Amino acid sequence: MSTSFQNIKGTFDILPDAYTDDGGTRVAPTAEWRYVERTVRDVMARYNLEEIRTPVLEPTDLVARGVGAGTDIVQKEMFAFERAGTNYVLRPEVTAPVVRSFLQHHLDQRGGVQKLFYIGPCFRAEQPQKGRYRQFHQFGIEILGTDDARADAETIAIMTAIYDALGISDTRLRINTLGTPDRREKYVEALREYLEPYADELSETSQRRLEANPLRVLDTKLEHEQKILQEAPQLIEYVSDESLAHYDRVKELLADLDVAYVEDPLLVRGLDYYTETTFELEGADLGAQSALAGGGRYDRLAEVLGSDEPVPATGFAAGMERLFLALDAAEADRPKGPAADVFIAALGEKAERWVFQTTQDLREAGLHVALDLKGRSLKAQMREANRQAADYTLIIGGNELDAEKATVKEMESGDQVEVPFDELTDYLTTKCDVDGA
């Protein structure tokens, strides 16, 4: 079969079965996505977070302001459009939307600290490659309303707990402090002054960053640029004593929780709204797209979005697609999708009708029942029963209808028993450990 249509480049379908995409990456089946999402939700519940769901469409200005005009996202990666005088963007991340929602709905009035998590699609017009898509999926958290170092440490602990729960242990947590914006501005000036004489030696990307957002030059992966940076002024020298004390406290708390980390004075991350603690979780063997998740403190974002009061906050965002790359690299266990409890094959029109009705009764009793909807041969129906990996198979024909008994075959052992029709529901619900409806 064929169609003249294809999914858009940089997006992908999630199918009932795993498959390999054009770039040679395994795309996990729906059952694995559900398992990962379930694990994420379980960990979130243990850490006392509540779910928030915000729209995929947001005002373009929210992203431009919230993520920052100097960022790659806003400069070249937004899927933004105008319609009847309104500017829309497909959200490229979820922090700015969550803070918008928090402010709009006065969630602070619920009292205390708000601990929120999300899972959902995000959109960035990046060059698609392994682990980098135009529609991808993030999960993450935002802890709003506290500047306590415990919130920073707990944010990191929740992030690492999720990878631990999934059996991904080959990771590296890098942390740094960005200090406060006023000190950072002074540092950025010093950095710019230091880098300007080297401008001609910098890559086009770094030259652009030097203009728009010099901190991002520190992100470079190019060796000759890293060499230039060795002698550059260090952010930590500009950070206030108060910020350093906060950072020390975060490190102390991480040690208390046995969360391993390395300090990386060059870690700055791409988004403008970060202050104080910042961090990134890397996976081993993931090549260029090694960043599994990242985040930090963003005490200024609420005001940037128009709040008359500051809302100190921390959060992290993690990519699902990268998580699956790490799951594959770790060869971590994943459950298969649920198999059918029962497959019922029918021979002949009368049997088909009886099977169709009985299937409904069994399903109402809570059983997962599969049947043929095409009138195929017995052989084809048995092939289907195998594909469905059904635990029990029934074959119903004229003889069974006359005797009002079904032969129930347990597929694993091959054992067969005869069960009167009127005992069938009880028999199968007991065998398959299903609570009747």
Q: For binding to ligand AMP (CB under 6 A), which residues are involved?
A: 93, 124, 126, 131-133, 136, 138, 270, 291-294, 317-319, 321-322
| Shortest reach from residue 299's CB to ligand AMP, in Å | 17
- Minimum gap (Å) between residue 270 Cβ and ligand AMP: 6
Which lies closer to ligand AMP via its Cβ, residue 184 or residue 269?
269
158: helix, strand or coil? helix
The count of other CB atoms within 10 Å of the CB of residue 167 is: 14
* Closer by beta carbon to ligand AMP, 24 or else 414: 24
Q: Decide whether 29 or 294 has the Cβ nearer to ligand AMP.
A: 294
What type of residue sits at position 310? Answer: P
Residue nearest to ligand AMP (CB): 319
In the bound state with ligand AMP, the residue whose beta carbon lies nearer, of 35 and 139, is 139
Q: How far is the CB of 78 from ligand AMP (least distance, A)?
A: 12
Tell me whether residue 280 or residue 384 sits nearer to ligand AMP (CB atom): 280
Q: State the minimum distance, in angstroms, from the CB of residue 399 to ligand AMP.
A: 57
Residue type, position 229, single letter:
L
Q: Which of 76, 88, 59 is nearest to 125 (CA)?
A: 76
Distance in Å, CB of 68 to ligand AMP, minimum: 12
Cα(293)–Cα(91) distance, integer angstroms: 17
* Phi, psi dihedrals of residue 184, rounded to the nearest 5°: -65, -35
Strand order from edge to edge, sheet including 86-90: 57-59, 86-90, 79-83
Cβ nearer to ligand AMP, comparing 293 with 351: 293
- What secondary structure does DSSP assign to 325-374, as a single string? HHHHHHT---PPPPPPSEEEEE-SHHHHHHHHHHHHHHHHTT--EEE-SS
Rounded least distance, CB 62 to ligand AMP, Å: 15
160 with 115: CB under 8 angstroms?
no
Instruction: For 166-274, list the strands marked E by DSSP.
Output: 171-177, 262-263
